[in-house]
Chains A and B, each alone.
Chain A
């Protein structure tokens, strides 16, 4: 293994390590969410992963208020960053525009944990030691580590080192990516990947730009090049299914037309849009951009899945091998 790719002390910005995951690659997996994303999808379920640096989070439910605490209303907390309004509601509020100076040390002063930070810096070995705790599950189920985000390819050296290190420890590797990065980043990471879950969010470049903040032309070019350059990787296409955005037959058929010529794209999964991430927006002081949207109906999901099953030449009940 290339030693340059695996300096044990190399560090990256990790949002979260989530064990016992079953939907992000084969078997039972540990998902490692990295900080930073190069898209701004309006439906994003992980808003805390978007910014590359650690950032302040606030949970009003655990705040005990000004009378009981009020610590953050005084120095050393930044002036004007926290405040209370007149009336019965004694809970502290955050002026997110003035709270930019809050770091981990300051947040640690909050006695109730209402203030916290999303994201921390970790070494390759720290992450892998945590991941390795579930080795027995991986062996029994074919599982392993899945790098997710954010966009894990935005930290190509760290991601490559993590995945190479996982392979050295005998752990299966997968990544979950939207691939909106330069090809050089992709090329650095993919040699260490067993399964690549990749998002086909929208087909038409202008619509992709509208809903995610960037065009998909480079993304599609990256996908095609990846399919052709790394024939041994299992590629699984995915679409987060959002009614009124992409939950339509036209998009599904366009994705199928793109992926089916490539035999190493072994499946196409639909991820019905959910609103689980909504609470996180509150904690970050962000406004959820798709608040009026609802999950797609079972009928729509079934219909679109049937189209995919037909394209893969299987009945609707079958699933691809290893899944």
Chain B
């Protein structure tokens, strides 16, 4: 396959992640060395499906001049689409009626018409499933995993996670200062509907008193017992980090609080829906509010909820993500050059590997019970909502 490639495209899935330019740069630079032409598809697949919407063209040539002047810490060069699913494109038909149409065949035709031989797609969970379907229809594609929550399976780390982690730690430090000043317990909700990596790693770094993650159903009485041992007249404050998908062992109480064990997000297929739609207004704050209210009823301290939620997605890429983005972009080109299609670039230390998409979809990378991070948290005295069994 490698000898046939002359022109490739790169696009970005839904959901903002800092520093995606680094992936674009990595791919463009590596492709340039092979003599391949690279174009960026604006706004997911929109630039290819609806070129009429773009006065400057739906495809952005990623030539040396543009790449040389690109900020690898930025994220805006290819834009963002609210939802990237060519199988269900919302449109208004000739009769003025809104409907979802399958434009996957049209998309593949457009790839051919533009003489694009392969696609590199920077996507999260749902994007992997969609690329898997496109690949089964004949599109040569390589995916770069991108997930703020680091929940994409088959890779140790997804692009964007480290930047989110750094920002979250910074915010937790500030929350703790606020709690210290107000003499209260700050309950901070962070992203993590399915996996608690962000809450756990940020909570450890910020020396939180408790971290509640989806993988460990939480007994709030155990949290209270732990907090009682830590909050003293000399230290009259606390910091609790709660992932938005945290679960509770007190099912009945959780239901009474209208916080079902399977929250809306958690009960949805994490790989099929996610938070991709431009029409989605994210629910946020429920986990923090529930935990803050329940704790306040169980302990003689005041609590206050804070929600980081979508704030975490903004900002500038960290050094780690810049390196990872460049490595993933270049790795995707190596995969195509080696004739590997239908794969995801994965960081499996110490190597960048190529994992078949079939192995990456329908999985969620959760925190295992024997994780080093779990053990570290327990060693530091951080309550994880339940004592180890």
Contacts and interface: CB of A to CB of B under 8 A. Distances in A.
A and B, one complex? yes
Interface of A: 37-40, 42, 51, 60-61, 80, 83, 85-88, 93-100, 154, 180-182, 212-215, 218, 278, 281-282, 285-293
Interface stretch (B94-102, B169-177, B183-191, B295-303): B94-102
B366 A214 contact: no
Given A51-B100, A98-B129, A214-B97, A85 B280 contact: no
Contact of B268 (A86, A154, A213, A287): A287
Contacts of A181: 95, 97
B273 A287 contact: yes
Nearest to A184: B95
A230 to B, nearest CB: 21
A99 to B, nearest CB: 8
11 contacts: A38-B96, A83-B363, A85-B270, A86-B363, A86-B364, A97-B85, A97-B271, A213-B98, A288-B264, A289-B281, A290-B281
Contacts of A51: 100
B180 interface: no
B267 A60 contact: yes
Contact of B277 (A85, A96, A289, A293): A289
Contacts of B96: 38, 180, 182, 214-215, 218
Given A287-B280, A291-B264, A80 B361 contact: yes
A235 B95 CA distance: 24
A180 B98 CA distance: 9
A100 B100 CA distance: 14
Interface in B186-237: 194, 215, 217
Given A180-B98, A214-B96, A287-B268, 4 more contacts: A95-B269, A97-B126, A98-B132, A285-B269
A257 to B, nearest CB: 24
Closest 6 CB pairs of A and B: A291-B283, A38-B97, A83-B362, A96-B272, A213-B98, A97-B129
Contacts of B358: 80
Contacts of A93: 269-271, 362
B271 A95 contact: yes
Contacts of A87: 215, 366
Interface of B: 85, 87, 90, 92, 95-100, 126, 129-130, 132-133, 194, 215, 217, 262, 264-265, 267-275, 277, 279-284, 358, 361-364, 366, 368
B98 A40 contact: yes
Dominant secondary structure of chain B at its interface with chain A: loop
Given A94-B269, A287-B275, A38 B98 contact: yes
A44 B129 CA distance: 27
A103 B368 CA distance: 36
A60 B262 contact: yes
Contact of A214 (B98, B262, B280, B282): B98
Given A87-B366, A292-B283, A285 B272 contact: yes
A79 to B, nearest CB: 9
A1 to B, nearest CB: 28
Nearest to A185: B95
Contacts of A98: 129, 132-133, 272, 361
Interface centre among B87, B92, B270 (most CB of A within 10 A): B92
Nearest to A99: B272
B351 to A, nearest CB: 23
B219 to A, nearest CB: 15
Contact of B272 (A61, A95, A180, A290): A95
A289 B366 contact: no
A212 B98 CA distance: 9
Contact of A213 (B85, B92, B269, B363): B92
A180 B280 CA distance: 23
A81 to B, nearest CB: 9
Nearest to A214: B98
B362 A95 contact: yes
Contacts of A214: 92, 96-98
B104 to A, nearest CB: 11
Contacts of B277: 287, 289
A86 B129 CA distance: 18
Contacts of B99: 38
Given A282-B264, A282-B267, A289-B279, A94 B272 contact: yes
B272 A293 contact: no
B133 A97 contact: yes
Given A98-B129, A293-B281, A285 B92 contact: no
Nearest to A39: B98
Interface centre among B87, B126, B194, B271 (most CB of A within 10 A): B271
Given A213-B92, A218-B96, A282-B268, A80 B273 contact: no
Contacts of B130: 97
A51 B129 CA distance: 21
Contacts of A38: 95-99
A122 B364 CA distance: 40
Nearest to A51: B100
A292 B366 contact: no
A288 B283 CA distance: 9
